[in-house]
Structure 1
């Protein structure tokens, strides 16, 4: 805890932390406002709503799959701080596109022909932005922090990201339908503030030999993943993270239509679901750092993801019981909290996210501490390629299940099954971790 507090007082960490916080806040304010507005104010069919939510998730994730190899090369071959500032400047323009789409949809101007395509275009560009920032936000940490500070810094970045998601989600609920114009203006203002803060990040020049960039994204992606996966610890960490985010993608896709059609709740309650999820991941991120005392290890990951799966099953059971005794009209936040089993439903959701945070945070630290510093960004980029492929697959699976009529509540059980496989991957990571420690001890 002292290390974390100490880092927040240092320029080598604080501007990066705040820049990432504003970036996550703005992305989530835009994405959540857009999805909630379309689900609650445009469409009136559970299958269509779920399909739109899946499409939105897939469009945001797709750039990670296509461009992560290039992003990783740039981050390792160029000054990371300069890349952050360039990307943050571009964010101002893409948020103007998103703001135009939000305003037109809010005013009912060419909603289906122009406004929604603009919203989806801006969402795709937001994914492009996050693709180029993704390898940097973790890979820059070993460059600016001491070795025993990296896990604390990783936990703070992860916790700060989810606090920012929390704040963006809290605002998105009430803004989503009645005050969407304010959201449109807000995302532009926040992007400008984020750019100004990014100018304070200290230089982070490339550490290794400058290589020629490979602009052939498919070839570069295949080579990057292949070159990264030879390290067993990194290999299993990437696979485990990928399954975690696939679970998260499916859950986030289903939250808005689940809240509207099963829980019979207002946009503010759908926003509350995402808030609780974000709080839980932040709590789990900080808690596992305290348990590990700064040491990078996956020892708590298998138990954490098993507990996560149990809470997913509990969430499913409560949702089925709720479905059997639905309210007649949409509930606001106060009515939802007063409804029987509401506290139990939110407790299950909190349990899912706390356990998830404890599972995934140490795995990210593996990616930056088990490779040489000059390859850290490319390792994160390889992780993003595999993660995004798995998440796009999860989004398409959710769309297919909805299209063939599988109820949203039943789809939640898919996440529980995936938790079991994630636990197996975490066990394999621990075995690789122990083997690497034995080899290192024998070499001394």
Structure 2
């Protein structure tokens, strides 16, 4: 396993200028947007009775361009070189902010609203470019770390921009400070964008459809072609639904439950933003430098558990006087609520980062930006829906904010179960992740020898009933396992094997049809370019030593000549799932956190494959010291 640190990316030109550019963009968006809201509410640039109208209009104008222009932006990002596009988009931001500065100084509210729409347009153009650029600049084992840093930078920049707007608004000559600030950070973003290295266009021959409505339909339709990718987009959109649901209620939550001090609103926003950033960074450690879908259910589980507990922690509070942020923190009675909020956001980071990386990794390179554009459109749609649901529950149904949080926490369980039932890979990877991080400490050696694409057969010794799950944890690619029919039909774990498209086999004497169908399935999977793993011993070892390799592997390679990679599992003999000291699964589990090693040998060309050669190679790997 690679030992690189995700923060090393911040020292490299292929990532650092990009990171700074996107962070400055998020910062400036929120500086301008929140400064405008403060000017509307407290700056006297509109009549008091018009404040609510302009506030809601501002929210709508910023989000509208994501619906209208994201599909076109995705096409542009796929067709043209991305670093040049980013420079153009950032230069557009400079122009918009120069006009915005003049509008702020002269109190031109309608012009400021138009410019807010244009800032939304600029963000809509930037979104598909920035996320489709990452897979071209980073290797696969850097993708999760890169996305984690981007997510961290984005949420901290949003927080910083929001706080900065409030600080500048409190200064004397606030309008001049705000005007200067938005121009300064726009220019800084443009200058950093000039250092982003060039990358080739993904699809230079693409013909752009400039009709935003028809292209919106096309974008969504194309994203639906890959179920895992599309449901990941829907899950990310659900994350933004939840996030908007919490963030939108913070001001009213502080007023109605927490004493009414504006400092507490900033405290809640800080806890939430830092939590998402921390959860995002934690993904790198938990995922082992890979796109690990096993931690996504952990994130959704955390969002539900702590979201539901937030209801109980809020209903137990009794705050009658205004408290500053520090006074609020010092009171232990408030810690449960803050901990709930922190772990909701940490879980959100664990949930969203692997999904973003999956979209980047699995989407078609030629249309990746268009897929990300579909993600942006649905994210925006779900945020608007979040506002609608909030109005329905809080205004129409008269729920309290605490009850609203309880409802969306319960809704999260329903959404998670639906997604995991439609894409069983999430549940399978979660089970594998839990197994390899509770009962076993799994070390992978030379797993990079498994090619990133193309057919290959893995051959391994057979020690326990969980061998297949542990091998699956070592491969970046899905593995089709050939295993004894009795094992593949064992209670409970048979569902996981079925989801993993396991190929059951038995002796021809027991069932000739099952035996021949297994070889047919193997041929089909290899012809489809998949990874197939077999256990040539045909059964679990009863001695701890490898049994004789059967000749079925020779038939496989004779029918479909593909390379073979020998593998060796060590450390499982004596576990609850092995036959040591009695039949597997019949003994009391005694070993937890055991060290298991998975070793890979050199790839063997098909013409050199034989059962004897493979057994010799596997035994050599078992005897090799780590």
TM-score, with structure 2 as normaliser: 0.63
- Greater share of helix: 1
Question: Which one of the candidate residues 64, 75, 78 is aligned to 1:76?
Answer: 78
Q: Quickly say closer, same or farther: Cα 1:120–1:424, change in 2 above 3 A.
A: farther
Other-structure match for 1:241: 236
Other-structure match for 1:142: 135
Other-structure match for 1:354: 346
Q: Is the 8 A contact 1:87 1:129 kept in 2?
A: yes
Other-structure match for 1:333: 325
Structure (1 or 2) with the larger CA radius of gyration:
2
Which deviates the most, 296-305 or 402-411? 402-411
Cα shift at 1:52? 6.9
1:441 aligns with 2:435: no
CA RMSD of superposed structures (Å): 2.9
Cα shift at 1:71? 0.7
| Structure 1 runs not aligned, ≥5 long | none
Q: Is the 8 A contact 1:15 1:201 kept in 2?
A: yes
1:343 aligns with 2:312: no
Q: Quickly say closer, same or farther: Cα 1:384–1:199, change in 2 above 3 A.
A: same
Other-structure match for 2:464: none
1:217 aligns with 2:212: yes
Cα shift at 1:410? 3.3
How far apart, in 2, do the equivalents of 1:101 and 1:309 lie?
A: 44
Q: 1:215-364, aligned counterparts within 5 Å?
A: 215-322=210-317, 324-327=318-321, 329=322, 331-339=323-331, 341-364=333-356
Other-structure match for 1:170: 163
- Please state whether the residue corresponding to 1:341 is helix, strand or coil: helix
Q: Is the 8 A contact 1:246 1:394 kept in 2?
A: yes
Count the aligned residue pairs: 429
Q: Is the 8 A contact 1:302 1:422 kept in 2?
A: no
Which deviates the most, 344-353 or 186-195? 344-353
Cα shift at 1:221? 0.9
Other-structure match for 1:395: 387
Q: Quickly say closer, same or farther: Cα 1:410–1:355, change in 2 above 3 A.
A: same
Other-structure match for 1:410: 403
- Please state whether the residue corresponding to 2:341 is helix, strand or coil: helix
Which deviates the most, 341-350 or 192-201? 341-350
Higher RCO (C-alpha under 8 Å, 6+ residues apart): 1
- Please state whether the residue corresponding to 1:8 is helix, strand or coil: helix
Other-structure match for 2:597: none
Q: Is the 8 A contact 1:170 1:275 kept in 2?
A: no
- Please state whether the residue corresponding to 2:289 is helix, strand or coil: coil
Question: Which one of the candidate residues 24, 27, 31 is aligned to 1:25?
Answer: 27
1:380 aligns with 2:377: no
TM-score, with structure 1 as normaliser: 0.87
Cα shift at 1:184? 3.3
Q: Is the 8 A contact 2:231 2:419 kept in 1?
A: yes
How far apart, in 1, do the equivalents of 2:97 and 2:377 lie?
A: 24
Cα shift at 1:97? 4.9
How far apart, in 1, do the equivalents of 2:94 and 2:152 lie?
A: 25
How far apart, in 1, do the equivalents of 2:405 and 2:296 lie?
A: 21
Question: Which one of the candidate residues 164, 172, 197 is aligned to 2:192?
Answer: 197
- Please state whether the residue corresponding to 2:294 is helix, strand or coil: coil
